């Protein structure tokens, strides 16, 4: 059932996007929404399964994300995506670790295999103090998961509220607004870099401010 979590795979030699200068805004939003670092890989077609060096991907994403924060002051969007990423992690942990604990409780397995299941729990920040089958540790892990359900519900509510109140605009809707504001039939998000996108948004804001000033003068 969880063999794929334990199987060692060969890491391919790949090339990552290096900054907001070359990372497409489409890929940026996909990473923000899904935490799938495959979108950092140059030339990835979104269909092929990739095995990447996660540590290098996280490091590269951190650099790009920091650059984005310097470029923009859109704190509401950043908060939305942070909540979305946190929710995705918690929901994945709930599902994977819940099934893992059921297997640990029901199956009779060798100590070395049981330890691998413990390592799965720890990879999701689930506390497990010993390296063997321990009823108290398993009960604590179950209680930890149950307690995190409250965080999941709170995040779901917060994200829903941000969408309903207009604090967050879905990327596709924002893309349409950009096209209309700039008078372009189509802006290709797969070919538009993050930096260029930020500058386009800034230009739209500047245009809107100038229009407002002109209207005020006429009055």
Summarised one tens digit per residue, pLDDT across range 169-203 is 778 888 888 888 878 778 899 999 999 998 888 88
pLDDT at 74 over 90: no
pLDDT of residue 4: 52
pLDDT at 127 over 60: yes
Determine what percent of the chain falls in helix, strand and coil, rounding each to the nearest 5. Answer: 70, 0, 30
pLDDT of residue 113: 94
What the block records as the tokens of 114 is 């049981």
pLDDT band, very low/low/confident/very high, at 160 (cuts 50, 70, 90): confident
Give the SS3 label for residue 24: strand
> 10 Å Cβ neighbour count for 101?
20
How far, in Å, CA of 101 to CA of 150, rounded? Answer: 19
pLDDT at 81 over 90: no
Q: Comparing 31 with 73, which gets the higher pLDDT?
A: 31
How far, in Å, CA of 15 to CA of 158, rounded? Answer: 36
Q: Nearest Cα to 90, choosing from 41, 159, 137?
A: 159
pLDDT at 6 over 50: no
pLDDT of residue 218: 58
How far, in Å, CA of 174 to CA of 91, rounded? Answer: 27
CB contact at 8 A, 113 and 3: no
pLDDT of residue 22: 94
CB contact at 8 A, 152 and 83: no
Q: What is the DSSP letter of 185?
A: S
Give the SS3 label for residue 63: helix
pLDDT of residue 1: 47
pLDDT at 8 over 50: no
> Kind and range of the H or E element at 39?
none
């Amino acid at each position: 059932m969880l063999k794929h979590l334990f199987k060692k795979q060969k890491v391919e030699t790949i090339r990552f996007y290096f900054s907001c200068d070359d990372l497409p805004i489409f890929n940026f939003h996909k990473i923000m929404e899904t935490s799938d670092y495959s979108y950092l890989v140059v030339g990835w077609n979104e269909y092929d399964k990739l095995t990447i060096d996660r540590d290098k991907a996280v490091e590269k994403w951190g650099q790009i994300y920091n650059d984005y924060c310097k470029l923009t002051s859109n704190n509401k969007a950043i908060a939305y995506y942070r909540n979305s990423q946190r929710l995705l992690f918690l929901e994945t942990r709930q599902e994977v670790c819940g099934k893992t604990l059921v297997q640990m409780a029901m199956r009779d397995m060798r100590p070395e295999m049981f330890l691998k299941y413990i390592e799965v729990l720890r990879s999701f920040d689930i506390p497990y103090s010993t390296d063997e089958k321990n009823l108290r540790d398993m009960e604590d892990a179950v209680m930890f998961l149950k307690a995190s359900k409250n965080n999941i519900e709170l995040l779901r509510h917060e994200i829903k509220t941000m969408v309903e109140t207009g604090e967050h605009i879905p990327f596709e809707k924002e893309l349409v607004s950009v096209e209309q504001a700039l008078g372009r039939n189509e802006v290709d998000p797969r070919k538009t870099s993050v930096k260029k996108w930020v500058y386009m948004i800034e230009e739209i804001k500047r245009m809107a401010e100038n229009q407002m000033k002109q209207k005020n003068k006429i009055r």
